[in-house]
A and B are shown apart, each in its own frame.
Chain A
């Protein structure tokens, strides 16, 4: 088999492209749908809080609760039926992720009770940044670098909102930056990531 240098280079480029695309699409298939969902929830909750401040508590409880239930159903479906890959440790890893997030929310409540009383703005910024910490950590664990960067970016925008944006505009800021970043990352990894 005669292969020229050009053909060899083309083959190596094809190998690199196929490898990169495979890893990206498999990674994106796990979290792009969830990011789109949570991005929309984030935008809706912050906009709802801005325009209907008296109902803020209910809005966040209802939307977050729905998000948690849907996340559980989506992830369970993913691991049971639609998982693009299968590893011997997949189910163990899946349960670890589930318990990690469950315990994280338990600890959020614990920390908030220890730190009480906290203002609404503090509680909101605290919860968002703790969740973004989880994104950063899981991004590192699973080499999902888009999650890692999303966590860092939204943490920064939250801190900007908390310290620099006038209180009356905080929710609009967060709907646009945090919600927009999460939604945008989900859409990008689902439809445009090559």
Chain B
């Protein structure tokens, strides 16, 4: 039975994972771009990304493109699986199967 994920369920992290999982596997999104589309500050986004990275749900890559530093983020396989499990748990709640206590 799928369980709700405390880490993913936080509203900002939920939006982050929703955005990342939308991308194709292996596709990375730029940090600045993610900050804009989610309308977050650098610090706020950075803190939530750290939490997700520590859980193994995302990977953060810092690199240089045309000599400018850029940070790219992508969801890991573990993160995608955890996200799908979280969705399944939400759907189970909606269909009234069970309220899940964590």
Main secondary structure of the interface of A (DSSP, over half): helix
Query: With contacts A1-B102, A3-B99, A21-B37 known, is A12 near B22, CB below 8 A?
Result: no
> How many of B's residues come within 8 Å of A, CB to CB?
34
A113 is an interface residue with CB less than 8 A from chain B: no
A86 is an interface residue with CB less than 8 A from chain B: yes
Is B65 within 8 A of A1, CB to CB?
no
Interface bits B4-40 vs A (CB < 8 Å: 1, else 0): 1010010100110011011110111110010001100
Which residue, of A1, A2, A22, A29, has the highest number of chain B Cβ atoms within 10 A? Answer: A22
B100 is an interface residue with CB less than 8 A from chain A: yes
Distance A164 CA – B61 CA, assembled complex (angstroms): 56
Distance A167 CA – B4 CA, assembled complex (angstroms): 65
* A residues lining the B interface (CB < 8 Å): 1-5, 8-9, 11-12, 14-16, 18-19, 21-23, 25-26, 29, 80-81, 83-88
19 additional A-B pairs beyond A5-B94, A11-B90, A19-B22, beta carbons within 8 Å, are A2-B99, A3-B9, A3-B90, A3-B93, A4-B93, A8-B91, A14-B14, A15-B18, A21-B19, A22-B23, A22-B29, A23-B22, A80-B65, A81-B66, A81-B68, A84-B33, A85-B27, A85-B33, A87-B28
